[in-house]
Structure 1
Amino acid sequence: MGKMTVYHGGYTAIQTPEIIIGRNTKDFGPGFYCTIIREQAERWAKRYQTPVVSSYTVRLNTELNILEFREMTEEWLDFIIDCRNHVAHNYDIVIGAMANDQIYNFIADYIDGIITRDQFWALAQFKYPTHQINFCTPAALKCLTYVTSEEVSKA
């Protein structure tokens, strides 16, 4: 598999990525999240006082257990619901669209029975494309090579 560039938005430069197991549940479970869309990484970073985007080259190891969602599907939705409910998975890397805050609200409404699955899909329209790669295991992190970091404007 060829090399690609990915970006991580945060509050500091991260030269040595680590698996993050935070209080908040994430779409694809605990891990180190990146994206191929630099503007998205900048949006992630702008949540912090000092917004920093770190970039990496990545060559995916095809021997790893990789799950890729090429589009938002029933399987994608069910996987996110499981991860947000702390159901563990055995993937090293998970790739797919991101359930942004608006989409997550629709997911919560679906889980709570407020809307149907069909209503979820009718509402789940992104205003801009999203993408995320979650490096879920130490073996997955070995695919990343740090390139650089830079502070970005909050404007």
Structure 2
Amino acid sequence: MALMTVYHGGYQAVEKPEIRVSRNTKDFGTGFYCTVIKEQAQRWARRYNTKIVSIYDVRFLEGLKILEFKEMTEEWLDFIVACRSGKTHDYDIVIGAMADDQIYTYVSDYIDGTITREQFWVLAKFKYPTHQIVFCTDVALKCLTYRGFEEVH
């Protein structure tokens, strides 16, 4: 697969990405989250006092178990619900649209039974495109080559 560039938004440059287990559940589970959309990484970084976007080249290694959601589908929703509920998976890399804060409110409402699956899909129209690629294993992190960082102003 061709080389691509991804971005990670945070409060410091991350030369050596690692997988850190946090108490918060995320869309695609535990992993190192990046995006191909630089503006999205900048939005992630703006949550912090020091706003840094780390930049990486990615080349997928042979034999990795990769799950890619090319669009928001029933399977995408079910996968996010499972991961946000604390279930684990055995993928090295997961790629797809992100359930941002507004979308996740709808996911929570669906999980709680406040809205139906059909109502979720009516509400789940993104205002802007989103993308996330999650490196879920130490082997997957070897696909990343650090290029540097930019400070977000």
TM-score by length of 1: 0.98
Q: CA deviation digits over 1:52-108, x for unaligned, max 9?
A: 000000001241000000000000000000000110100000000000000000000
Residue identity matched to 2:30 = P
For residues 134 and 23 of structure 1, the distance between their equivalents in structure 2, rounded to whole angstroms, comes to 17
Q: CA deviation digits over 1:97-154, x for unaligned, max 9?
A: 000000000000001010000000000000000000000000000000000112111x
For residues 142 and 62 of structure 2, the distance between their equivalents in structure 1, rounded to whole angstroms, comes to 12
For residues 29 and 43 of structure 1, the distance between their equivalents in structure 2, rounded to whole angstroms, comes to 20
User: Displaced runs of 4+ in structure 1, greater than 6 A?
Assistant: none
Q: CA deviation digits over 1:4-54, x for unaligned, max 9?
A: 000000000000000021121110000000000000000000000001000
Q: Who is 2:5 aligned against?
A: 5
Residue identity matched to 1:110 = Y
For residues 85 and 132 of structure 2, the distance between their equivalents in structure 1, rounded to whole angstroms, comes to 19
Q: Who is 2:26 aligned against?
A: 26
Q: Do structure 1's residue 104 and structure 2's residue 104 form an aligned pair?
A: yes
Q: Do structure 1's residue 81 and structure 2's residue 81 form an aligned pair?
A: yes
Q: Which runs of 5+ in 2 are unaligned?
A: none
Same amino acid, percent of matched pairs: 69
Q: Who is 2:137 aligned against?
A: 137
Give me the CA root mean square deviation. 0.5
For residues 62 and 128 of structure 2, the distance between their equivalents in structure 1, rounded to whole angstroms, comes to 29
For residues 41 and 31 of structure 1, the distance between their equivalents in structure 2, rounded to whole angstroms, comes to 16
For residues 81 and 141 of structure 1, the distance between their equivalents in structure 2, rounded to whole angstroms, comes to 24
For residues 125 and 51 of structure 2, the distance between their equivalents in structure 1, rounded to whole angstroms, comes to 27
Q: Who is 2:52 aligned against?
A: 52
Q: Who is 2:91 aligned against?
A: 91
Q: Which runs of 5+ in 1 are unaligned?
A: none
